[in-house]
């Protein structure tokens, strides 16, 4: 138990530790020290460095508030929107590698934009509580930068999209709330907004839906360790996405710690912590890089309901798209959206709700829920899917569950359902029949599966499948039964 406590402690103490990084000393374009053309209204020495991302070897070019010529020099195009990337807490004082990946993804897929990295490393490379205090200062500086753009080049704040990771999400929130005037900035995206010292705080003390015309957030590491979590659990946006429930992410499992330790030494623990936290970033990058693989998320109360497949309804705009191409809709109340993902890019999976009506004929006997299913689609097949039933099968009941597939198998045309149970009961029944001869010739009790209903989340298609042979609908252990699309008249009768 002691080692577990130590592990938790280490996990906590190296929250958000950065991993491999690009060299941070990208050459900065030095701002001209010459004449100050605009009025000295704006504070001169901002701590935050605004680096316009460029496709050059330097990687970025520094824009100085009050030095209009630096905008031209760096190639800022005032007729295009601005996306600003805001990093989080920094342990080593270097810009993390995801920042450059994000900037490149934004630029390559949507070249029609200016991408600026808000580098607040000097304020973020502090003890966590100090860095938290500095989020306000940095937010204030970003607000000033946007106001300056507005005044100097008539750049509308509604064309500004702030993308903030971890503490950077709250920095973005403060930027949005500190900007003067009644108009708001266009959009803020919070990528796993930091939890410690923000969870449960009032909306003015953290990222909230009021901070921009539209706010979205992706929560990926809200798992609790000793009462604290790295990412904030509560909704903070108009749309809050909880991939895989938001607590933890596939491919980041604690068992991987050992692999990471082998690979990176003790920093491997940090790699694991970082994995789920930073997943929010890579989900967003994925949405830019794979336009044909956009992930749909579904409005749901909680992950347990979602895991039963009960939330795949997209009617009345219940669904939305995770990432850059989200449908921007201002709702009066935060909406929690759920989805499953793969462990790596592209993260998209295909969600299905299955409803199976099972009648257990074996009176008083609860059946272990060991079933598998194989699906035949118009494009591909999916074999031997484990059916995630938690409760034993009794009586006469409909079971609903969620199945996700990594690939698009097309329309489902056939289902094979197998009861993986061992035929022990069969043997008992045979013995029973030998002892009590008059039961000979009677049918062995088993399970009756009359129909399987399927709802595909991504296409919103619904299907009902019936047993291929209607005379023999009984299922016995280790048997497999084939289900095909129901004939219309039969579907009506069930």
Query: Per CB under 6 A, which region of 139-147, 227-235, 341-349, 464-472 contacts ligand NAG?
Result: 139-147
Instruction: Write out the binding residues for ligand NAG, residues 325-384 only, by CB under 6 A.
Output: 359
CA–CA separation, 175 vs 144, rounded Å?
8
Nearest Cα neighbor of 230 from 12, 488, 449 is: 12
> In the bound complex, what is the minimum distance in angstroms from residue 290's beta carbon to ligand NAG?
24
Active site residue 461: no
Strands 214-218 and 187-191: parallel
CA–CA separation, 417 vs 482, rounded Å?
6
Which of 50, 178, 241, 401 binds ligand NAG (CB under 6 A)? It is: 178
Tell me whether residue 63 or residue 349 sits nearer to ligand NAG (CB atom). 63
Asked if 91 touches ligand NAG (CB under 6 A), the answer is no
Q: Mark residues 42-81: x for contact with ligand NAG by CB under 6 A, - for none.
A: -----------------------------------x-xx-
CA–CA separation, 55 vs 298, rounded Å?
37
Tell me whether residue 76 or residue 338 sits nearer to ligand NAG (CB atom). 76
Asked if 98 touches ligand NAG (CB under 6 A), the answer is no
> In the bound complex, what is the minimum distance in angstroms from residue 137's beta carbon to ligand NAG?
11
Q: Which residues of 367-381 are buried (b: 16+ CB within 10 A; e: fewer)?
A: bebbbebbbbbeeee
Token digits of residue 447: 């399970």
Whose structure tokens read 């050459």? Answer: 27
Asked if 100 touches ligand NAG (CB under 6 A), the answer is no
Which of 37, 112, 301, 325 binds ligand NAG (CB under 6 A)? It is: 112
Tell me whether residue 292 or residue 363 sits nearer to ligand NAG (CB atom). 363
Active site residue 192: yes
Asked if 140 touches ligand NAG (CB under 6 A), the answer is yes
> In the bound complex, what is the minimum distance in angstroms from residue 262's beta carbon to ligand NAG?
48
- Residue 467 and residue 437 in contact, taking contact as beta carbons nearer than 8 Å: no
The count of other CB atoms within 10 Å of the CB of residue 256 is: 15
> In the bound complex, what is the minimum distance in angstroms from residue 268's beta carbon to ligand NAG?
42
The count of other CB atoms within 10 Å of the CB of residue 478 is: 13
Paired residues of 398 in beta bridges: 357
Nearest Cα neighbor of 444 from 477, 483, 420, 421 is: 477
Asked if 180 touches ligand NAG (CB under 6 A), the answer is yes
> In the bound complex, what is the minimum distance in angstroms from residue 145's beta carbon to ligand NAG?
9
> In the bound complex, what is the minimum distance in angstroms from residue 239's beta carbon to ligand NAG?
27
Active site residue 302: no
The dihedral through the CA atoms of 361, 362, 367, 372 has a sign that is negative
Residue tagged active-site, from 119, 192, 216, 240: 192
The count of other CB atoms within 10 Å of the CB of residue 111 is: 10
CA–CA separation, 13 vs 154, rounded Å?
45
CA–CA separation, 478 vs 493, rounded Å?
29
Residue tagged active-site, from 170, 260, 277, 351: 277
Which of 317, 366, 396, 407 binds ligand NAG (CB under 6 A)? It is: 396
Contact residues toward ligand NAG (CB under 6 A) are 77, 79-80, 112, 140, 143-144, 147, 178-180, 359, 396
Q: Annotated active-site positions, please? A: 166, 192, 277
């Amino acid at each position: 138990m002691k080692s577990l406590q130590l592990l938790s402690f280490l996990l906590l103490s190296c929250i958000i530790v950065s991993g491999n990084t690009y060299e941070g000393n990208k050459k900065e374009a030095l701002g001209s020290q010459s004449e100050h053309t605009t009025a000295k209204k704006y504070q001169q020495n901002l701590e935050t460095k605004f680096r316009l991302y460029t496709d050059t070897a330097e990687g970025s070019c520094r824009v100085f508030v009050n030095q209009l010529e630096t905008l031209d020099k760096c190639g800022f195009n005032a007729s295009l929107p601005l996306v600003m990337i805001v990093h989080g807490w920094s342990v080593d004082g270097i810009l993390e590698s995801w920042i450059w990946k994000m900037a490149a993804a934004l630029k390559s897929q949507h070249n029609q934009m200016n991408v600026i990295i808000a580098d607040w490393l000097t304020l973020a490379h502090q003890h966590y509580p100090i860095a938290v205090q500095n989020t306000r200062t940095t937010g204030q500086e970003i607000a000033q930068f946007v106001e300056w753009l507005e005044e100097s080049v008539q750049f509308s704040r509604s064309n500004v999209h702030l993308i903030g990771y971890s503490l950077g999400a709250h920095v973005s929130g403060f930027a949005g709330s500190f900007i003067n005037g009644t108009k708001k900035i266009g959009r803020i995206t919070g990528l796993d907004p930091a939890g410690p010292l923000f969870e449960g705080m009032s909306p003015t003390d953290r990222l909230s839906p009021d901070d921009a015309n539209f706010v979205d957030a992706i929560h990926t590491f809200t798992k609790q360790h000793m009462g604290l979590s790295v990412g904030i659990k509560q909704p903070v946006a108009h749309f809050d996405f909880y991939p895989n429930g938001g607590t933890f992410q596939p491919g980041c499992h604690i068992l991987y710690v050992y692999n990471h330790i082998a690979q990176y030494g003790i920093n491997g623990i940090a790699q694991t912590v970082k994995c789920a936290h930073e997943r929010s970033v890579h989900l967003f990058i994925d949405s830019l890089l794979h336009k044909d693989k956009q992930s749909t998320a579904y409005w749901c109360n909680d992950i347990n309901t979602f895991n039963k497949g009960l939330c795949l309804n997209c009617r009345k705009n219940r669904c939305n798209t995770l990432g850059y191409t989200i449908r921007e809709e201002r709702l009066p109340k935060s909406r929690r959206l759920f989805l499953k993902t793969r462990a790596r890019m592209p993260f998209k999976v295909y969600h299905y709700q299955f409803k199976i009506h099972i009648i257990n004929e074996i009176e008083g006997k609860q059946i272990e829920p060991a079933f598998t299913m194989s699906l035949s689609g118009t494009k591909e097949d999916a074999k031997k899917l484990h059916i995630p039933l938690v409760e034993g099968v009794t009586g006469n009941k409909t079971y609903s569950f969620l199945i996700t597939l990594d690939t698009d198998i097309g329309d489902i045309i056939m289902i094979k359902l197998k009861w993986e149970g061992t035929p022990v009961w069969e043997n008992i029944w045979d013995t029973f029949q030998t002892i009590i001869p008059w039961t000979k010739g009677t049918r062995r009790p088993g399970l009756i599966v009359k129909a399987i209903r399927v709802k595909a989340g991504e296409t919103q298609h619904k299907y009902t499948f019936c047993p291929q042979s209607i005379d023999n609908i009984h299922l016995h252990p280790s048997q497999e039964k084939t289900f095909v699309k129901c004939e219309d008249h039969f579907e009506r009768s069930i």
